[in-house]
Amino acid sequence: MARTINKNVKQDILKSVEELVAKIGVNSISLGDIAKKCDISKGTLYYYYSSKDDIIFDIIVKHVKELEEEYLEWIERHKEDLTPERFLSVIFNKGVKLFDRAKMHIFLINECIKGNDILRDKFNELWFAWQKKLEVGVLQAFKDIEDAESFAYLLMLIIDGLAIQEVMQGKFIGDDKLIEVVKKIGEKQC
Amino acid sequence: MARTINKNVKQDILKSVEELVAKIGVNSISLGDIAKKCDISKGTLYYYYSSKDDIIFDIIVKHVKELEEEYLEWIERHKEDLTPERFLSVIFNKGVKLFDRAKMHIFLINECIKGNDILRDKFNELWFAWQKKLEVGVLQAFKDIEDAESFAYLLMLIIDGLAIQEVMQGKFIGDDKLIEVVKKIGEKQC
Amino acid sequence: MARTINKNVKQDILKSVEELVAKIGVNSISLGDIAKKCDISKGTLYYYYSSKDDIIFDIIVKHVKELEEEYLEWIERHKEDLTPERFLSVIFNKGVKLFDRAKMHIFLINECIKGNDILRDKFNELWFAWQKKLEVGVLQAFKDIEDAESFAYLLMLIIDGLAIQEVMQGKFIGDDKLIEVVKKIGEKQC
Amino acid sequence: MARTINKNVKQDILKSVEELVAKIGVNSISLGDIAKKCDISKGTLYYYYSSKDDIIFDIIVKHVKELEEEYLEWIERHKEDLTPERFLSVIFNKGVKLFDRAKMHIFLINECIKGNDILRDKFNELWFAWQKKLEVGVLQAFKDIEDAESFAYLLMLIIDGLAIQEVMQGKFIGDDKLIEVVKKIGEKQC
DNA sequence: GATGAATGAGTTTTCATTCAT
DNA sequence: AATGAATGAAAACTCATTCAT
């Protein structure tokens, strides 16, 4: 019998899992939790996904795609007045935090490094694609930048670092100070 | 009265767990695995530690302490010729990576954010203490630095970001480029 | 090697176990708990007692003996003015409750019926001996009593029933009412 | 493995647990024992009940409800000729004993007092409800009774006491004598 | 398409008991 | 006389997965 997959059910599942992952992490959610949240049976879950890993894979793709899309949208809206401050502000202050996905971000990374190479490679691929798009924004915001690629890379590191800070609820020095420091990199020097 | 715990067994356990955590992550190791690796019974494990969390707690303390110690040692050895390049090099290239603890670092963070507040607060406390020590190094390496605190904070973010990169085996742009970029922050500008 | 048993240590153990049993029940206390409360090692515990059951056995003997002694002492003190009310009052209101041992009483009974026949027979033997002594008190308090034996037996049932009420924290009707009801049994009727 | 669909799995479990509890007590039965007796897996047990306490809770409700029902049925059948003797006889001789549940009764009480307040309150609630129904029987059997409430309470104490006697296999004086003694309470006095 | 009963291998944890010192 | 390190068997509980319906 050929399977006819109902897209709506799949999306329902993903949305529910996303919420659960963001709350309690990948390892802590059981398929029972997911089924209950979706108001479907565990059997149905297995009709749409062949394993728990399968679900997580889809979540990762969705997560990075959404981060990217929301970023691109923002850049598009502000392309006229893209000052370094505003650019860095959206990256830092609103970056992973804006989308309220810091926790999921870290949880997913953790899942990737537990041994699932396919998952990890997919995440890296998507992450790298985003970095390339970040470069475009960097060039727009910092006219005099010398090495936009390295700068974009640095921003990605900082985003990951901030995600960790966010989930760890560490002492944050404040956006203004952070922006002030990083801004210098893109500015002309003597 | 006062229990004299066999230090060797406790250290044996910690070392084994460290290796296992670095290999397969906190959630993936069972107490059975640990006991087998140490060649002791599960009962003995509980003689030394009252729970799995207890063990992880000790691991975290050990992990951050060691990172700190090795860093301080390095700074001490190089205090005569602490150029910005060398300083950033040890932080970035050798930071978490040097000690081959990136994976454990991320795994431990993940463990912290799963809901164990005590664990998380301890990690934050230790991490903040290290940041303060980093500030001292920053001041030594960058004579003209304006805001050493923010810079040290940035470095911590980058270290976390690099740890993620390391465990995810993402495309790394190379230390030289990264150092070049970050160095600018500490330099005088027009 | 002949064992030289230190009476004081044994008494220390018994006292501690008694307190623990009264608080959390026989099954819930571990030898570790006992050792900690006595401030001795588990090994020492095994020097004085060959098993957990051994300890419980001693506790039971001590428990019933003390109940009996305190009762006899009280009867002796009040033999001059032993009204039915006072007698029933001490049996009911102060019976098991007086000695604050209701919980232990029930816990011990439970232990006995779990399969340990030796324990059970010992308890019964002691309990029956006490019943016989109760009969003497009954005869003193109720001059016109017809069947003192049955009455004493009834009192034993009530004491057990009250012990259960006590530990279950059920709704108690009040001593006065209970005394009033039971008193009738011992009184002349038309 | 042959999967035999059993619609009455929950009832099977309860019945098996009841038998085991009556035989060896609550603490002594493991979920493994139960599963084996029901010929199901431990997993299945947890499919129907979320914990051991959950099972015991159901057992308690069932136990008290059944005691009550059988008593009410009996009263209904004998309402025409409810002499004091017959009434007391069914309460004492057949009360807890009749239904062969004395052991379970005590075991359940013991479970309640070990710290499980919810269990205890439930038991008390049910027990009190039964006492109220006993009062009705008392009024029917003893026309001249003054304080039916206290008398019913006394009967409850005696039932508990008899349950203990039963499980402890103590020396029983005989129903006739006990009935004779208690009967006096309900009779007119000078 | 969808279900939910059933599973079994896995997990963490407890604890009475032993024994060399 | 006393200890405490070590154990192993058993406990309660979890959960991804299967499959007949």
DSSP collapsed to 3 states, D105-135:
HHHHHHHHHCCCHHHHHHHHHHHHHHHHHHH
- A167 Cβ within 7 A of any nucleic strand F atom: no
CA of D30 to C1' of E21 (A): 38
pLDDT at B4 over 50: no
Structure tokens at D154: 């006394």
Instruction: Quickly state the pLDDT bin for D1 (edges 50, 70, 90).
Output: very low
Contacts 24+ apart (CB under 8 A), A13-17: A13/A38, A13/A40, A13/A45, A13/A48, A13/A49, A13/A55, A14/A55, A14/A58, A14/A59, A14/A62, A17/A55, A17/A56, A17/A59
C113-145 per-position pLDDT tens digit: 877 777 888 889 988 988 998 898 899 888 888
Q: What positions of strand E are covered by protein, i.e. any atom < 7 Å from a CB?
A: 1-20
Q: Which of the listed ranges C61-70, D22-31, D38-47, D85-94 does the model predict with the highest average pLDDT? A: D38-47
Instruction: Quickly state the pLDDT bin for C154 (edges 50, 70, 90).
Output: very high
Considering only the beta carbons, identify the residue of B103, B114, B156 that sits closest to A24: B114
Nearest partner of D134 among D178, D74, D176, judged by Cα = D74
Q: Do A170 and B109 touch (CB under 8 A)?
A: no
Name subunits touching B (3+ CB pairs < 8 A). A
- E9 C1': nearest CA residue: D43
Task: Mention every residue, 6+ apart, whose C-beta is less than 8 A from residue A167.
Answer: A102, A103, A106, B109, B113
Residues of B with Cβ-Cβ distance to A112 under 8 angstroms: 168
The better pLDDT of the pair A94, D142 is held by: D142
CA distance A3 to chain B (A): 34
* Residue in chain D lying closest to C120 (CA): D168
Q: What share of chain B is helix, strand, coil (3-state, %, to 5)?
A: 75, 0, 25
What pLDDT is attached to residue A50?
Answer: 92
d(CA B182, CA B141): 13
Instruction: Quickly state the pLDDT bin for D106 (edges 50, 70, 90).
Output: confident
Task: Mention every residue, 6+ apart, whose C-beta is less than 8 A from residue B68.
Answer: B126, B129, B130, B133
CA of C19 to C1' of F4 (A): 25
CA distance A179 to chain B (A): 10
Instruction: Quickly state the pLDDT bin for C2 (edges 50, 70, 90).
Output: very low
| pTM metric for this prediction | 0.80
CB-neighbour burial class of residue B31 (10 A; exposed 0-12, middle 13-18, buried 19+)? middle
Residue ranges of chain A whose pLDDT lies below 50: 1-2, 98-99
What pLDDT is attached to residue B46?
Answer: 94
pLDDT at D43 over 90: yes
CA distance A4 to chain B (A): 35
What pLDDT is attached to residue B122?
Answer: 84
Q: What number of residues does chain C have?
A: 190
* Residue in chain A lying closest to B119 (CA): A168
Instruction: Quickly state the pLDDT bin for D112 (edges 50, 70, 90).
Output: confident
Instruction: Quickly state the pLDDT bin for B100 (edges 50, 70, 90).
Output: low
Cβ pair C162, D158 in contact under 8 A: no
Q: CB count, 10 Å around CB of A84?
A: 19
Considering only the beta carbons, identify the residue of C168, C170, C178 that sits closest to D154: C178
Instruction: Quickly state the pLDDT bin for B143 (edges 50, 70, 90).
Output: confident
Residues 39-98 of C with CB under 7 A from strand F: 40-44, 46-47
Mean pLDDT computed over C2-18: 79
Which H helix or E strand runs over D86?
Answer: helix D84-92
- D37 Cβ within 7 A of any nucleic strand F atom: no
Report the share of chain D in percent with pLDDT over 70: 89
Whole-number average pLDDT of chain B: 84
Residues of B with Cβ-Cβ distance to A188 under 8 angstroms: 189-190
Nearest partner of C64 among C142, C167, C134, C5, judged by Cα = C134
Instruction: Quickly state the pLDDT bin for D2 (edges 50, 70, 90).
Output: very low
What pLDDT is attached to residue B93?
Answer: 66
D45-79 per-position pLDDT tens digit: 999 999 998 998 899 888 888 888 888 888 888 88
Which H helix or E strand runs over A172?
Answer: none
What pLDDT is attached to residue B33?
Answer: 94
Which H helix or E strand runs over A132?
Answer: helix A117-141
pLDDT at D17 over 60: yes
The better pLDDT of the pair D9, B184 is held by: D9
What pLDDT is attached to residue D64?
Answer: 85
What pLDDT is attached to residue C3?
Answer: 52
Q: CB count, 10 Å around CB of A25?
A: 23
CA distance B167 to chain A (A): 6
